[in-house]
A and B are shown apart, each in its own frame.
Chain A
Amino acid sequence: MNGTIAKLALQALLGRRRFFLLLAFPVLLIALVTLITALTDGDAAFDILPGLGYPLVLPLVAILAASSVLGPEVDDGSIVYLLAKPVNRYVVAISKWVVALAATLVAGSLAILVASLITGDTTRALGMFVGAVVAGTAYSALFLAISAITRHAVIASLMFVLIWESLLGNLFTGVAWLSIGQWGLRVGHEVSAKLPDPANLTWAVLASIVVTVAGVWFAGDRLRSFSLRGED
């Protein structure tokens, strides 16, 4: 963990318009849930969270955070100046991941906690929050790794979330075993039985840890053997 790199990554994340896009997600989610709670009741509003907030807003925030800390530098090639510094590449990856993780947890998981608290039922809200923290951690590591591999990181990550987890996950229940969102829900189920329990708890915990560690390690490994490529 290198303080300077983390600080620079934070500045890149909070710089200008990006910050507003990142801020828009939690604000809109909470506003929508509040509106529906006011119009109908908490249970109808809660359906927004497993239907929209958790499978869509949380990964989008993670994608935005992970690609903001690494993407622009890879994009314009200025990452070579960072890599020229005598800093361990894994430390670079970890420092950037910590910033992406913090942003995901604040703008994603915390927003989900607040939104589900608004709908009432504290245990259910805590369950959602635990699930969102687990999933947000694994998501940010995975998307950081994807950002280190390809310039089309955002699209590749979106395809993982939208096509694999959402579209195919709704059609084939077996996808739950290979879906970060479902692992998070499984862990959250331990806190509140109102959440679904796909897959197996041990598997969900182990798989989340493996994806997180492997994702950050892989990002560092890619940075270690980084080669600049032109735009295709």
Chain B
Amino acid sequence: MSERSGVIHDLGYRRYDGPRDGTATIARTLYVTGLRHTYGLGRSGKSKILPFILLAMATLPAAIVVGVVVLTGLGSLPVTYADYTNQVQLVISLFAAAQAPVLFSRDLRHRSIVLYLARPLSSSVFAVTRWLSLTTSLLFFMWVPTFLLFAGALLAGLDKSDQLEGLLKAVVLQLLLAALVAGVTGLISSVSLRRGFAVVGSVVALIVVSGVVTSVQAITNAQDADGIGVAAGLLSPWSIFSGLADAWHAGVVTFTPPGSAWALAYVLVAVVLTALCVLGLVARFRKVGSR
């Protein structure tokens, strides 16, 4: 200090010369935090209530099914893995609708997005990371009952290769579904920042539209106009899921099962829709982040 005698105050600030973590580390931390927040972990006790009640509601029937299989010695599960997910779609949709605003609305509404973007993390990486968090959390939500069923089936001594085949089909379909549902609910919650309206919007997109599609399919099936019903199935994530599961013989029965060409179209539409939603999210966060 002797050579800089002119300095009045020298508080001894020093530069940081150590290693710096890049975008990848920030994104990974953000991903894990987002994943935890969808279940209220690391937040107040009150925000844990809803996700865990919903998870319990989605899992309880699986536990009952396993109990019935073990006690009565059934030769197979009364419900396939993909069909189970289809049966509890109401609970899964509610979970997605309720928890998507946690990841996508809050930062935008309270402008804490500015603090995230002050770090070397671009708004597009932020949006994609949040989407990945929600996708993973939805997958976890569907996998808990699925793997409970699987474990129960194996312990009850059911045929291993049959169960494994059903499980693999369900897991692939769930992957597609989770990515699509996360994209749709995320986009809705990032546009509509009031929590209540985001939830209603997501419920409309997931539950109401799917109800409309199902009744349209039932009617077109009764009128021998299956083609329209199959095409209508492209409009809702759940009808894409059940249609694909039906086409793939995963144990779901729909009114208008898509043929093999239509099944390919279903997969393509699901992937394209997901991609569009993610692009929409990126555009939305870019716009808000640049303000």
Q: Which residues of A contact B (CB under 8 A)?
A: 17-18, 21, 24, 28, 32, 36, 39-40, 44, 47-48, 51-52, 56-57, 60, 63-64, 67-68, 71-72, 75, 151-155, 158-159, 162-163, 166-167, 232
Contact = CB atoms under 8 A, between A and B. Distances in A.
Contacts of B90: 162-163, 166-167
A70 B229 CA distance: 40
Contacts of A152: 50, 98, 195
Nearest to A45: B219
B63 to A, nearest CB: 16
Interface residues of B, number: 30
Given A39-B223, A158-B94, A162-B90, A64 B200 contact: yes
A154 B204 contact: no
A152 B208 CA distance: 20
Contacts of B216: 36
A155 B49 CA distance: 12
A44 B90 CA distance: 25
A18 to B, nearest CB: 7
Interface stretch (B6-14, B39-47, B167-175): B39-47
B57 interface: yes
Contacts of B219: 36, 39-40, 44
A52 B215 contact: yes
22 contacts: A17-B192, A21-B200, A36-B219, A39-B223, A40-B222, A44-B219, A48-B215, A52-B215, A60-B200, A60-B203, A64-B196, A72-B194, A75-B194, A75-B196, A152-B195, A154-B200, A155-B50, A155-B97, A162-B94, A162-B207, A163-B91, A232-B43
Contacts of A151: 195
